[in-house]
Amino acid sequence: MIHRLRIVPRLAAGLVLLLLTGCVSLPQNATADPRDPFERFNRGAFAFNDGLDRSVIRPLARGYKAVTPQPVQTGVTNFFTNATYPITIVNNVLQGKFKAAVSDTGRLLLNTTFGLCGLLDPATQSGLDLNDEDFGQTLGKWGVKPGAYVVLPFLGPYTIRDGVGDLADNFVEPRSYIDDSTTRWGLWAFDKFETRVRLLEADSVLDRAGDPYAFVRSAYLQRREYLVRDGNVPMENLEDDFEDDEADMPSPSNKTP
């Protein structure tokens, strides 16, 4: 019996290794996307992340949302949003958006002081705009191409450019300068969890997708292009991606009544 119990984690580890080394078959109707040269590996990582999400993270997120009062949820969201303002401010400056940098500096100071370390959001009530910038967007503004689309175990989707940008942003993230590693990584994990809670409403859309992997890839790449271009995305790009998304959705005849 003990011997069999020891085999279980080895089989689980072997299965994860099998998925992540690219031994995943592609859907028969899948077409090659030049933005995704590592699709076989990426689908394995996506399957691993999706399995972890459905079995552990999604139930926990639903439980948190069900038992946590809405004012507390809002306060937690405000806190983590406030913690990202240094990243936004630095990248505003790097992109030459000085007016936005002044506005976000005001948001940081106002919410950190009168907003009780960011739990409240008096800056919005004061009319200060909320911006969202990161170094991946800055690199895009500087003309750096996105590079290959990659899905990482536990971390999710990136492009090469956004992955490099995320590493650079960590040097500006206040959490990175907390000496206690338990606190530092605990805040990182809860930040990701809180983001997952806010994405619960999107689960129904993803669950209806014929090819969830392709749907997430398209949505991620669309959003990143939209952010880099500050919303000025050529209409033909949106139309092409919209057609791809429609192809990933099940036909009406396949929907359950």
pLDDT in tens, 128-153: 988 999 999 999 999 999 999 999 99
Kindly state whether residues 210 and 141 are assigned to the same domain: yes
The reply to whether 120 falls in a domain is yes
Kindly state whether residues 74 and 194 are assigned to the same domain: yes
User: What is the total count of domains within the chain?
Assistant: 2
Kindly state whether residues 143 and 224 are assigned to the same domain: yes
Kindly state whether residues 112 and 219 are assigned to the same domain: no
Amino acid at 143: G
Range of the structural domain that residue 188 is part of: 68-133+173-198
Q: Would you give the distance in Å from CA 147 to the centre of its chain?
A: 17
Write down the pTM of the prediction.
0.81
pLDDT in tens, 81-133: 999 999 999 999 999 999 999 999 999 999 999 999 999 999 999 999 889 99
The reply to whether 97 falls in a domain is yes
Kindly state whether residues 163 and 72 are assigned to the same domain: no
Kindly state whether residues 209 and 222 are assigned to the same domain: yes
